Each structure stands twice: as C-alpha cells, then as structure tokens.
Chain A
Amino acid sequence: MGKAAELLPGTLDMLILKTVSLKPLHGYGVLVRIRQISKDALEIPQGSLYPALYRLEHHDLIAGEWGQSENNRRAKYYTLTAAGRRRLRDETAGWNRLATAIAAAMNTTSEEV
C-alpha cells in the first residue's frame, strides 16, 4: 500500500459523508467506494472506519438501517440525513477554499513575491 496517501486529519468524516451521499452503503461498501473513487490513492484504516460511522450516526448526520446486501446477507446501510447533507455542503466548500489556497501557495514562483 505504499502508494496510498495518508489521510489528512478530519477528512475521513467528509469522505464518508460524500460516499454515502451518492448511494446508501454499508460500512464495507464505504471502504471499497472510497478506494474506488480515489483510484486506490486513499486507504482508510479499517479500525477507524466504524467509530467514525458511529460518531456520524450519533450526531444525526447519517442514518443506519438494516437491509439486504447484494449477496443476500443482512447488512446495515447508511444514508445521508438532511443535517448530513448540509454538513457535506459546508465541508465541501470549506475544503475547496482550503485546497485552492494551498495550491495557489504551492504554485507561487519567486517573481510573484
């Protein structure tokens, strides 16, 4: 997994909200989906996934409900709540601002100073 980037602190919640917003997912699904959309660039430590899910559910940002998995097993599916959607919008905007600012800072050349 050497090529996988370290997750920045605080970004795990945002990533979970984003993946769950696309489609109801169970915990393992969230893991796989993050790996997929980041093209294996982001690796989530499996041990911290579930505490994060429970935290988000406790804060009422996502809601868990038991359902059938693709191979007919009982699995807990998470969907985004209204509060979660608002939070995702805020965090996305915040992230974009931060990323742009950092990118701008990193691209600065000596002449511009």
Chain B
Amino acid sequence: MFKRFRSLFRVLTRRREFEDGMSEELRFHIEQYTDDLVRSGMSREKAARHARIEFGSLDSVKGDCREERGLHLFDEFYRELSYAARLLRKTPGFTATALLTLAVCLGANLTIFAVIDSVLLRPLPFPEPDRLMTIFNTYPKAGVERDGSSLTNYYERRGHLPAFTSLSIYRYGTEIVGEPGSTEREQTMRVSPDFFSTLGLGPAIGRTFTEEETTSETDHVAILSDTFWRQRYNADPHVIGRQVRVNAVPRTVIGVLPPAFRFLSSDARLFLPLASRPEDRTPLQRHSGGNVIQMIARLKPGATLAQAQSQLDAQNATLEADDPQAKMIADAGFRSIVVSLHADHVAAIRPTLLLLQAGAIALLLIGAVNLVNLLLVRASGRVKELAVRQALGASRGYVVSEVVVETTLLTFVGGLLGLAVGAGGIHLLRVLGADRLPLGSRIVFDARLALVALVAAIIMGIVFAVPIAWFNLRRHLGNALQSESRGGTSGHGAQILRHSFIVSQIALAFMLLAGAGLLGLSLQRVMAVSPGFQSDHILAGHILLPWATYPDGTSRLTFVERLMDKIGHLPGVLSAGVVNNVPFSGNSGKSASTVMGHVLRPGESPRGNYSYGVAGDYFRAMGFSLKAGRFLTAADSHRSGRVCVVDEDFARFYWPNGSAIGQRLWEGSEVGKDAEAFTVVGVVGGVKQAGLTEDEAQGAIYYPYVFRISDSVFVAVRTSLPPESLGLALQKVVRQIDPDIPVNDLRSMETRIADSLVARRSPALLAGLFSGIALLLTAIGTYGVLSYAVAQRRREIGVRMALGAQPGQIRSQFFSLSLRLLAGGTLLGVLGTLLAGRAMQAVLFHVPALNLAILAGAAGVTGVVCLAACLLPSQRAARISPMEALTEE
C-alpha cells in the first residue's frame, strides 16, 4: 500500500517527466512496429498508417495508463478546480462579497477562539496540570468571599490531607532589586519550599528552597527566572552562588528556572522563600489570611476533588473544635474550598469569553446563511446550463463534485483571507488590553490555530455544497428546461428555503445587536457609578520601603512625612497624601474590626471592612467628600489619642440612626483595651476599592498611618496640571530622599479606573463590531434575495402590469413580503434576546434581561437596515416595463 502511494507521489511531483516519458515510450513502440512492417515489405507510408491504426487512439491509451497510476482523479480535480475558478472570476461581485463575508466571519471566530484557546483550553504549562488545585478560605456571612489561606493553614494541612501529594503556598510581591543607584522594582513571588514540586517543574540549574530557609534569619537565597538570568547575568552558567541584592540585602542565587516556567499570569522574575516566624504559624493566626497568601495543591493520582474537599472539611471541623473563636468563625460561614487552579484563575473572564464566542458563531451563521442564499441564487441562474449538461450525460456524481469543488474553493480562499483578518483581530485585542486578562499573555496566533481555521473552512465548503447540490439534482431535467424557457417562477421549496434563511438571519442580527446593546448599557451603568472620590487630576504611584533601611514605623513615618513636605513644594501640586492601599490597586483584602457597644445578634458574624493607613492630606488629594466631622490630619499620627475616620457605608451599618462621631472601635475581631480604641472623628464618602461593580458596600476605616504602618505605600497627588506630567518630578523627589527607591505603577486615578474596566469595555466594543458586521451581512443577504425574486418574476410582473396593475401595487407587494420577513425575524430575535439576556446575567451589571429600550432600539435599527435593503429591488420591480419584460428571453 505504502509503495503504491510512493509511486503516486513520485509521479505527481514529477508529472512533466511522467507525461514526456509516456509519450516517448508510445512513440518508440509505433516507430518500432513501423520499421518491422517496412522490413516485411510494406511501403513506409502505408506501414506508418497501419501501425497507428492497429495501436488505437494514442490519447485513450494514455488515459488508461494515467488511470492505472491513479492520476485520473487528480486530473479531474484539477479540471474542476480551474473550471470553478473560471466561474468565480466571471462573477467578481459575487466572489468578492462571498470572500469578504467569509474572511470577516472566519476571522472574527478565529480571533475569539485564539483567546478561548489560550485562556480556557490550553492546559497550564506543568505536568498533569488538571491535578493542580487551589484552596482558599471563605467567610461569606462576614462579606469576605475570598480570603486566601493563612500560614497556619499551610503548616496544619501539609502532609495531613491524603488526597494531595503535595501542598504549598505563595504570595505575589514586588521587591527592589539591584545595586544602589541602579535599582529596579521587580515582580517577585515568595513561595514555600514545596511550591516547585507541587507544580512539578523546578529549577533547570541548581536547587529549590529547603525547610531551613523559611525563617527571616535564614532566607537569604533566591531562585531566578530564565529571563532575569539572561538579562542580569548574561545567562552565566556559573551563576549559582553569586549574589543578588534584594531590598538592599544580598541573597545567594541557588537556582535558575527553565524558560517555559510561568505561574499563571504572574510576571515574577525572582523567587524567594516565604519566610515566617513560629508565632505566625500558631492556631491563633489560622484566620489571618487577608487574601495575601494563596495555596496550591496537587491531587494524588486517583483522588478526586470531592474526596479532597471532604478531607479538608473534616480537618477544619476537628481543628475548629478547640478554637476559642470557633463560634464567630462558624457564624461567618467559614469554609475552605478546593477548586481547579486553572478554572479558578480564569473563572471571572470565562462567561465573557463564551459569550463573545457565541456572538462570533452567530456572525458566522449569518455569513454562512448569506453565502448559501447567494449560492442558491447563483445555482438558480445556472439551472438551464446544468440541465443541458445532465441531458448530455454529466453524471450525478459529477454534478455534486463540481459543486463541492466550487464551494470549497470559495471557503478555502475565504479561510486564507480569514487568517489575515484573525491575525489583525488578535492584534486589535492586544491594543484593547487582552494581555491583561488572566493568561492573556499566552494569546498567540500559531500554526495550530491556522490549521484549525483552514480545516473549518474546508468543512464549511462541504456543508455549503449540500443544499446547492440538492437543489441542482432535485430538478427533473425536462421540467427545468421548460420552466425556465417559459420564464416561470422558481420552485416553491427553494423559495421557502431562501425566505427562512432571511428570517433566521434577521433574527441572529437582531440578537447580536440587542446583546451588544445590553453590554453597552451595562458598561454605561458601570461607568456611571461614582468611585467615591473625584477621580480627575490625581496621579498615584507605588513605593516600596525596603525592610533593611526602613525596619520600623518611625523610620517609615519619617520618610512619608519628608516626602509629603517635598511634594507639597512641587509646582502645580494642590494636595498630596499617602495611603497603604489606593482604590483600584487590585488589592482588596478586608480585615475585621470591632465596634464598641455593638452586640452581635445570634448568628451574625463580624464584618470585614477595608482598612487604610493614611498620611498627609490624603482625603483632599483624592477628593473625598466629608459627610460629618473632620478629615484626619498629619498631626493625628503624633497625637496620643487614637482617632479614625470611617466611610458612610460603615457608619450607616453600625449607627443607622445616630451620629458616628465620637463612637469608638477596635482593630481586629475582639474587644480590646479601652486605651487601644479609636474614636471616630469624621465620616467620608463610601469608596469602591475593588472596582466600580463592587456591590456590597462593606465600609472602610481610615487610621492614621502610624497605626497601620506598612512597607508598601501609594502616594496620591492632586494637581492642576495633566496628572501624568507630574510623574518625573515625583520620581525625582523620591530619589532625592532615598536614591535606592523607585516609584512604580505611576498612573492617574482615571487611568486606573479605565484599566479596571478592560474586561467590560473590550467585549462591549467587540460585540458592537460584530453586530455592525451582522447588520451589513443581513442587508446584503436581504437585498440579494429580493433582487433575485424580482428578476425571477419579471415576466409575471410584466403581464400584470400589462393587465393594468399599478407600479405602486407591485412595489407594495414586494415591500409587504419584506415586512413579513422582517416581522418574523424580529419576533424570533426578541425571543432569542430574552434567552441570551438571561444567559448573560453573569456579565451584566444592573441590566435585566428584558430591557424594552434595547429591544425597541434593536428592532428599529434592524428594521431600517432591512427595509433600506428591500427598497432598491422593490423600486426596480415597480419600474419594470411590460413591453421589455414580455419580449425578452
């Protein structure tokens, strides 16, 4: 078998040689025979004639020889291909429309599929990635849906849950890396020693961290990412043992990761041990996660997620039994949840992506219906030609294969163009910020996708051929010859088919338009939400104070106060402040607080709220509105009396009827000493920390910075200038105070808010684009089918007009046909939109599935576009001259 293929392949690749050889061989035969005949006494002329006659037709022998080599199929295919290409070239309008439709529809699908493939489908780059799980704590009744895991969780769980082979923790971070004067901020990860073994992918050079390296006295080691190693160490193979300065402290390089190592969407280039003190690992700290430390685990072969979950539940129950806070924790609805790492990481974006793919598929359906309709119209125009050819002996197989070759040629070329559109689409997505999606940096346009697209294009071609071939074969020869020559109307079945195609097309376009409208409305409603402060003219940047030079609160406060003083003297600065966590920073961990005098009702759990430490004139810089009392001032950090400011959400919850001013509260979930209580001195507007769509207002407490010292701070500056223009000056000021410290993540607050909407804006934009294309395609389809109907019925119209019908009657007849089609399509579209709207609830913000304005708008736009598309053909029908229509043929 294989040899036969090889022989065929050899012949196909050297077709010329084969043909020449065959001709020469046959010529040789005839000449030899002629010579023999001459030798036996015949005249040369007669001999040559005789030899040729006896040999038979040279061409038919050649044909038989080719057939023996399996070549005839290829010859036939080639012939049909060039015939199809010739036909398509002859109708450039149709061909261009079809190719453009295919290119846009396939390109749109390819673009979205590229995202789905890289975000949802492609497994994480670790061995047996489907066994990787993540575990997080949740306290739903306290308003804390997700709280990561605590160090205590890690030390209590590892080795004690038989469903897991290994379990580890990590936290993202940023550190200042490099020699003094040339420091840079790097993304880092702090990980437990078993992190790499849990993932199943460890350093390419060197070793991983050991258990001994998990205390802050012994953790002076680091593992480098491949890019860091190449850029900073020139890919030095002897890098192990060299020093890397992290936060002004030298660490020893002990390993280099392989190039393919990438944990989820992290850009970490440096990996450090997640060090902790023994007191951080005690049961008292079990619920102190704060969504900072995350846990991953690898399922044992054969173990299921359900087993793991029940083991985890059982362990939690045992451990909580002797927890002094057990009741409160239970009241908060505490649970630890195991989910697939990959699924969890992309959970937020999944519904949006699926929705977009559904939209792209709807677009493809519209395009496909359009094409089939146009092809049917084309086939109707060639009925006579086909009938003649069938009468002359063209086999059914031949008729079918001709159609398949033509449609497949069309879709294949359309697919090639679609690849270009898809590549452009992926580029567009990058511009729209797709690489900020989870796993978004994996989005690539590769040979695999191109192959999928081309195979899909070929399959589409074959599917398209089915109705056309059916149409071509269904007609009885005589009928076709006659019905056309009489100028009769087309078959009823084909007409119904075409009309139902139009109806479904209108319905799909309607759904896409209404869907885009819902997304747009949702986006508009999100953008109308106030972030809780005046977001214009604010520049905010992130500063990390290295532990080595700023070990305590005093040194940090000194730095912050010097910074405030210097920034205050910059030209164009109206006010400036410092906060440990600026809104929209991406960090939205909550902590507990206890209000003096607030008695928890049975079953009520302490609520988590945002806690901030602020310095300088933070509230004025951010433009918070003061509802009662006063803002915090710089002096509050130096006063002995503890004061704080709460936001209106917090005040409304705890003191719905009275004033918040003068009330007292403690940090943490327990009632503390009287001297440690903070007195509320002001109430400010509520803030959206996690994003504009944050619905549950959990409240916020602002403490003076000195009571909530952190090494990571944001500086916020309100300016009369364009905010971004202040960036360099701000960096200079910080370097003046400490040349080791860079300012990173410098963005205006408006940019931060806009960036937080990327997962909403891009889908709305794409859906709008899709529905625009869908409308255009529907218009083309409606126009094409109606024009055809008019052309088909020229003679009938001519007769009627000759008998006295008015042009207006003819026009309204076609118009009412289009109105009926439109009504059907709209009705189906409304039903579809209701279903789609319900399915879309996950990605919509405060927009119900049934929105009359959207439905009316979509109906209006589809109606206008479709009727406009019908206008021209109806006019043409009304202008038919009876004389011409009856005499032509």
Give residues in A with beta carbon < 8 Å to B. Answer: 26-28, 31-32, 45-48, 50-52, 54-55, 57-60, 66, 69, 71, 73-76
Interface pairs (22), CB distance under 8 Å? A26-B28, A27-B25, A27-B29, A28-B28, A28-B29, A32-B36, A45-B56, A47-B55, A47-B56, A50-B22, A50-B64, A51-B65, A54-B65, A54-B69, A55-B68, A58-B4, A58-B7, A58-B8, A58-B69, A60-B3, A69-B32, A74-B28
Q: Which residues of A contact B28 (CB under 8 A)?
A: 26-28, 69, 73-76
CA distance A100 to B67 in the complex (A): 35
CA distance A60 to B56 in the complex (A): 27
Q: Which residues of B contact A59 (CB under 8 A)?
A: 3-4
Is the beta-carbon distance between A50 and B70 smaller than 8 angstroms? no
CA distance A54 to B72 in the complex (A): 14
Q: How far, in Å, is A35 (CB) from chain B's closest CB?
A: 11
Is the beta-carbon distance between A51 and B33 smaller than 8 angstroms? no
CA distance A52 to B61 in the complex (A): 10
Q: Which residues of B contact A66 (CB under 8 A)?
A: 21
CA distance A46 to B469 in the complex (A): 41
Q: How far, in Å, is B66 (CB) from chain A's closest CB?
A: 8
Is the beta-carbon distance between A58 and B68 smaller than 8 angstroms? yes
**Does residue B279 face the partner (Cβ distance < 8 Å to A)?**
no
- The contact of B24 among A47, A52, A55, A74, by CB within 8 Å, is A74
Q: Which residues of B contact A54 (CB under 8 A)?
A: 65, 68-69
Is the beta-carbon distance between B68 and A46 smaller than 8 angstroms? no
Which residues 91-121 in B have Cβ within 8 Å of A in the complex? none
**Does residue B212 face the partner (Cβ distance < 8 Å to A)?**
no
Given contacts A27-B25, A51-B64, contact A58 B70 (CB under 8 A): yes
Is the beta-carbon distance between A50 and B21 smaller than 8 angstroms? no
Nearest opposing residue in chain B for A26, CB measure: B28
- The contact of B25 among A32, A71, A76, by CB within 8 Å, is A76
**Does residue B45 face the partner (Cβ distance < 8 Å to A)?**
no
Which of A26, A27, A32, A46 has the most chain B CB within a 10 Å cutoff?
A46
Q: A57-B7, A58-B69, A76-B28 are in contact. List 6 more A-B contacts (CB 8 A).
A: A26-B28, A27-B29, A28-B29, A45-B56, A58-B7, A71-B35
**Does residue B887 face the partner (Cβ distance < 8 Å to A)?**
no
Q: Which residues of B contact A26 (CB under 8 A)?
A: 25, 28-29
CA distance A74 to B61 in the complex (A): 20
**Does residue B695 face the partner (Cβ distance < 8 Å to A)?**
no
Q: Which residues of B contact A55 (CB under 8 A)?
A: 68
**Does residue B54 face the partner (Cβ distance < 8 Å to A)?**
yes
Given contacts A28-B33, A58-B70, A60-B7, contact A50 B56 (CB under 8 A): no
Q: Which residues of A contact B4 (CB under 8 A)?
A: 58-60
Is the beta-carbon distance between B67 and A51 smaller than 8 angstroms? yes
CA distance A55 to B7 in the complex (A): 11
Q: How far, in Å, is A20 (CB) from chain B's closest CB?
A: 15
Q: How far, in Å, is B10 (CB) from chain A's closest CB?
A: 10
Nearest opposing residue in chain A for B6, CB measure: A60
Q: How far, in Å, is B57 (CB) from chain A's closest CB?
A: 8
Nearest opposing residue in chain B for A46, CB measure: B55
- The contact of B54 among A32, A46, A69, A75, by CB within 8 Å, is A46
CA distance A66 to B68 in the complex (A): 20
Q: How far, in Å, is A67 (CB) from chain B's closest CB?
A: 12
Nearest opposing residue in chain A for B36, CB measure: A32
Q: How far, in Å, is B62 (CB) from chain A's closest CB?
A: 8
CA distance A59 to B8 in the complex (A): 10
Given contacts A55-B68, A58-B69, contact A50 B33 (CB under 8 A): no
CA distance A28 to B32 in the complex (A): 7
Q: How far, in Å, is B9 (CB) from chain A's closest CB?
A: 12
Nearest opposing residue in chain B for A29, CB measure: B32
CA distance A66 to B21 in the complex (A): 9
CA distance A48 to B29 in the complex (A): 13
Is the beta-carbon distance between B25 and A50 smaller than 8 angstroms? yes
CA distance A71 to B38 in the complex (A): 15
Q: Which residues of A contact B24 (CB under 8 A)?
A: 74, 76
Q: Is the interface of A mostly helix, strand, loop or mixed?
A: helix
CA distance A76 to B885 in the complex (A): 66
**Does residue B831 face the partner (Cβ distance < 8 Å to A)?**
no
Q: How far, in Å, is A19 (CB) from chain B's closest CB?
A: 15
- Among all A-B residue pairs, the 3 with the closest Cβ atoms: A47-B56, A51-B64, A55-B68
Q: Which residues of B contact A52 (CB under 8 A)?
A: 68
Nearest opposing residue in chain A for B31, CB measure: A73
Nearest opposing residue in chain A for B62, CB measure: A50
Which residues 1-47 in B have Cβ within 8 Å of A in the complex? 3-4, 7-8, 21-22, 24-26, 28-29, 31-33, 35-36
Is the beta-carbon distance between A47 and B60 smaller than 8 angstroms? yes
Nearest opposing residue in chain B for A75, CB measure: B28
Q: How far, in Å, is A110 (CB) from chain B's closest CB?
A: 45
Is the beta-carbon distance between B7 and A50 smaller than 8 angstroms? no
Q: Which residues of B contact A28 (CB under 8 A)?
A: 28-29, 32-33
Which of B21, B29, B55, B70 has the most chain A CB within a 10 Å cutoff?
B29
Nearest opposing residue in chain A for B51, CB measure: A46
- B64-85: CB near A (< 8 Å → 1, else 0) gives 1101111000000000000000
Given contacts A27-B29, A58-B69, A69-B28, contact A51 B21 (CB under 8 A): no
Q: How far, in Å, is A72 (CB) from chain B's closest CB?
A: 12
Q: Which residues of A contact B60 (CB under 8 A)?
A: 47
Q: Which residues of A contact B69 (CB under 8 A)?
A: 54, 58
- The contact of B56 among A31, A46, A69, by CB within 8 Å, is A46
CA distance A59 to B3 in the complex (A): 8
Q: Which residues of B contact A76 (CB under 8 A)?
A: 21, 24-25, 28
Nearest opposing residue in chain A for B67, CB measure: A51
Q: Which residues of B contact A27 (CB under 8 A)?
A: 25, 28-29
CA distance A89 to B858 in the complex (A): 80
CA distance A54 to B70 in the complex (A): 10
Q: How far, in Å, is B574 (CB) from chain A's closest CB?
A: 89
Is the beta-carbon distance between B3 and A50 smaller than 8 angstroms? no
Q: Which residues of B contact A51 (CB under 8 A)?
A: 61, 64-65, 67-68
Nearest opposing residue in chain A for B3, CB measure: A60
CA distance A75 to B55 in the complex (A): 18
- The contact of B65 among A32, A50, A60, A69, by CB within 8 Å, is A50
Nearest opposing residue in chain B for A73, CB measure: B28
Q: Which residues of B contact A71 (CB under 8 A)?
A: 35
Q: How far, in Å, is B636 (CB) from chain A's closest CB?
A: 96
Q: Which residues of B contact A31 (CB under 8 A)?
A: 29
Which of A47, A54, A55 has the most chain B CB within a 10 Å cutoff?
A54
Q: Which residues of A contact B56 (CB under 8 A)?
A: 45-47
Q: Which residues of B contact A46 (CB under 8 A)?
A: 29, 33, 54-56
Which of B7, B21, B24, B65 has the most chain A CB within a 10 Å cutoff?
B65
- The contact of A50 among B8, B35, B57, B61, by CB within 8 Å, is B61
CA distance A57 to B11 in the complex (A): 12
Nearest opposing residue in chain A for B11, CB measure: A58
Is the beta-carbon distance between A50 and B26 smaller than 8 angstroms? yes
Q: Which residues of A contact B25 (CB under 8 A)?
A: 26-27, 50, 75-76
Q: Which residues of A contact B70 (CB under 8 A)?
A: 58
Q: How far, in Å, is A59 (CB) from chain B's closest CB?
A: 7
Q: How far, in Å, is A60 (CB) from chain B's closest CB?
A: 5
CA distance A26 to B28 in the complex (A): 9
CA distance A95 to B225 in the complex (A): 76
Nearest opposing residue in chain A for B18, CB measure: A54
Is the beta-carbon distance between A47 and B32 smaller than 8 angstroms? no
Nearest opposing residue in chain B for A30, CB measure: B29
Q: Which residues of A contact B3 (CB under 8 A)?
A: 59-60
- B719-735: CB near A (< 8 Å → 1, else 0) gives 00000000000000000
Q: How far, in Å, is B17 (CB) from chain A's closest CB?
A: 11
Is the beta-carbon distance between A47 and B68 smaller than 8 angstroms? no
Q: How far, in Å, is B5 (CB) from chain A's closest CB?
A: 11
Q: Which residues of A contact B64 (CB under 8 A)?
A: 47-48, 50-51
CA distance A102 to B70 in the complex (A): 36
Q: Which residues of A contact B67 (CB under 8 A)?
A: 51
CA distance A46 to B50 in the complex (A): 12
Q: How far, in Å, is A30 (CB) from chain B's closest CB?
A: 10
Q: How far, in Å, is A77 (CB) from chain B's closest CB?
A: 10
